[in-house]
Chains A and B, each alone.
Chain A
Amino acid sequence: MSRTAIRESVQDRLFLGLVYLFLSVILIVILFPLLHIVSASFSSPGAVSSGKVWLWPVDVTLIGYKAVFQNSNVLIGFGNSLFYAVVGTLVNVAFTVMLAYPLARKTFYVRNIIMMLLVFTMFFDGGLIPNYLLVKSLGMLDTRWAMIIPGALAVFQVIIARTFFQTTIPEELAEAAEMDGSSDITFFLRIALPLSKPIIAVLALMYAVGHWNSYFNALIYLKDSSLFPLQIFLRDILILNSVSAEMVTNVNELLVREGMKDLLKYSLIVVASAPVLMIYPFVQKYFVKGVMIGSLKG
């Protein structure tokens, strides 16, 4: 760019140097704890508990991961989370576009009333207890439904999708299709949706990450541990520190067993975060796009 075409003054170059320094510090501060966790997860129990691991793995081994994948709770949780993420996201995306698309069309005459109804819910809600009592009275407590239905839609995502439809599907296109005898639903399914793949990707990403990472609904609505998502099991093991005997039985010495407990936490953190962080680089551009569409209508 022309900004750098001309030789910059000493003052400016100094300032730019400070900017690079600032960004490098931020980069290190964010990256270092993450790398430390990954390295520790590949290290031996002894190296972890004696504090030898800094940035690189010490005595590389996979026994931490072995212990994680031998744990039946982790596997149950993984399966449940996958189910909630896939089914939940399908429902979320379907509901979101079904509501957002008519709201974007001028020929939908009640759209302003519905928009007001939606926006109001963003600023005022009944609170935890009324929501809990509602789910209870619908008979959803302790069922898989409780993980899908109460969060079937996020109003904020509807507004993002509506903004997208408004800016990418011209009203004239819909009118032309209407004159050709296409019904509103046919147009929606055959033309509007195929043109909206980017926004569907954004919505699916946001919702799926939300499902995978949330533990709150499971905490309040589920009691049956065979329905628990991974995050609840993670909480038990990582935060409440209840490592079941099953996970460390094949280790005899007390000292090594303590070390195993610590090592297990590191491996588990990596296993739990890997699915999301692995797809992240591929969807990053959609993700940024989604935030930007959202910001148009802040």
Chain B
Amino acid sequence: MARMSKTMEATAGMNVPLHKPGSRTRKKLMKHWQFYLLVFFPLLYIVIFKYVPMFGVLIAFKEYNVVQGIFGSPWVGFDYFKQLFEAPFFWQYVRNTLEISLYGLLVGFPAPILLALALNEIRNGRFKKTVQMVTYAPYFISTVVIVSILIVNLSPNTGLMSNLYRALGLEPVDFLGIPGLFKSIYVWSDAWQFTGYGAIIYIAALAGVNPDLYEAARVDGATRLQKIINIDIPSLFPVIVILLILNLGNVMSLGFEKIYLMQNPLNQNTSEVISTYVYKVGLLGANFSFSAAIGLFNSVINFILLVIVNFVSRKVSSTSLW
């Protein structure tokens, strides 16, 4: 009873005539002022570390020098972009980036779906748990260690491949030194590392399928394969489309970390991609403006790709990000 009268007082208080128009919204905004206190530092972080660098891309249009800083350096317009588009090596790097990304998508996208469908077929038991546990584990291994594992196993001196070649009486090969193999090594080792992790989301989606559907299919005499094609895959379809949009929108932003570590002088031709080139020109070569121009070009292409893919998907399948 006491609490109730308190509430009534509180609501009555809100109906007191307000001093001036507009202060009602202000009061509504300020009533939970403590929320602003909570978000203050995180938001400050977002503004400084996410939005300020967006203005930093201005240096792509300037002749940046350390003395005059971002704002004082003289404008040069699109000079750096012209320089970039005229360089023959640049298109080679764009092509490498796209080839590795699309190859990676071709292998890495369906693999988790297959794994999830297969796991969904077998009973919950020790075997299923083991497969899940083991396939998720490589996700937790660092990039440096993954590349080290590749190097020790693919080098001519040590590891599984050289063991195998020697056991067969063949001369061991330096696989990472063969330019033609670089993309395959990158893509398949990625599949090795991330298939299990990628499957989790599909496994969750399959767990949510209505059991009545399977029951009805069983009554109709459907085989396991028919159930997969007619029940499982259609259930996964929305998730597949969303993830495909996100992945296609990211084909230009191929990660730096793993490629950089896998590079060596022998495979340079096929392994140089945009992100590694930005790093080498910008930070190692201290050519900030040119490097920022490449980075900006990359971000813009990515953003446009995402918008296009999302648009097409909305037209074709009525599933989209926004």
Query: Which stretch of A64-72, A102-110, A164-172 is in the interface?
Result: A102-110
**Is A254 engaged at the interface, CB distance under 8 Å to the other chain?**
no
**Is A195 engaged at the interface, CB distance under 8 Å to the other chain?**
no
Interface string of A226-242 (1 = CB under 8 A from B): 00000100110011000
Tell me the chain B residues, 226-260 only, with Cβ under 8 Å from chain A.
Answer: 239, 242-243, 246, 249, 256-257
> Quick one: closest A residue to B249, CB to CB?
A123
**Chain A proximity of B181: nearest CB distance (Å):** 17
- B218 engages A280 (CB within 8 Å): no
- A231 engages B201 (CB within 8 Å): no
- A36 engages B143 (CB within 8 Å): no
**Chain B proximity of A274: nearest CB distance (Å):** 11
> Quick one: closest B residue to A5, CB to CB?
B218
- B42 engages A98 (CB within 8 Å): yes
Residue total for B at the interface (Cβ-Cβ under 8 A): 104
A269 neighbours in B (Cβ, 8 Å): 145, 148-149, 152
**Is B46 engaged at the interface, CB distance under 8 Å to the other chain?**
yes
- A134 engages B158 (CB within 8 Å): no
- B239 engages A298 (CB within 8 Å): yes
**Is A191 engaged at the interface, CB distance under 8 Å to the other chain?**
no
Q: Known A153-B46, A291-B201; judge A108-B54 contact (CB<8 A).
A: no
**Chain B proximity of A95: nearest CB distance (Å):** 5
**Is B104 engaged at the interface, CB distance under 8 Å to the other chain?**
no
B144 neighbours in A (Cβ, 8 Å): 213, 215, 231, 234-235, 238-239, 272
- A109 engages B29 (CB within 8 Å): yes
Q: Chain A's interface: helix, strand, loop or mixed, by majority?
A: helix
Residue total for A at the interface (Cβ-Cβ under 8 A): 99
**Is A245 engaged at the interface, CB distance under 8 Å to the other chain?**
no
**Is B173 engaged at the interface, CB distance under 8 Å to the other chain?**
no
What are 9 A-B pairs at a CB distance below 8 A? A12-B223, A15-B223, A20-B127, A33-B149, A130-B54, A130-B56, A130-B292, A179-B3, A188-B38
Interface residues of A (CB under 8 A from B): 1-4, 6, 8-9, 11-12, 15-16, 19-20, 22-23, 26-27, 29-31, 33-34, 36-37, 48-49, 51, 53-54, 95-96, 98-99, 101-103, 105, 107-110, 114, 117-118, 121, 123-134, 137, 149-150, 152-153, 155, 158, 179-180, 183-185, 188, 209, 212-216, 220, 231, 234-235, 238-239, 262, 265-266, 269, 272-273, 276-277, 280-281, 284, 287-288, 291-292, 295, 298
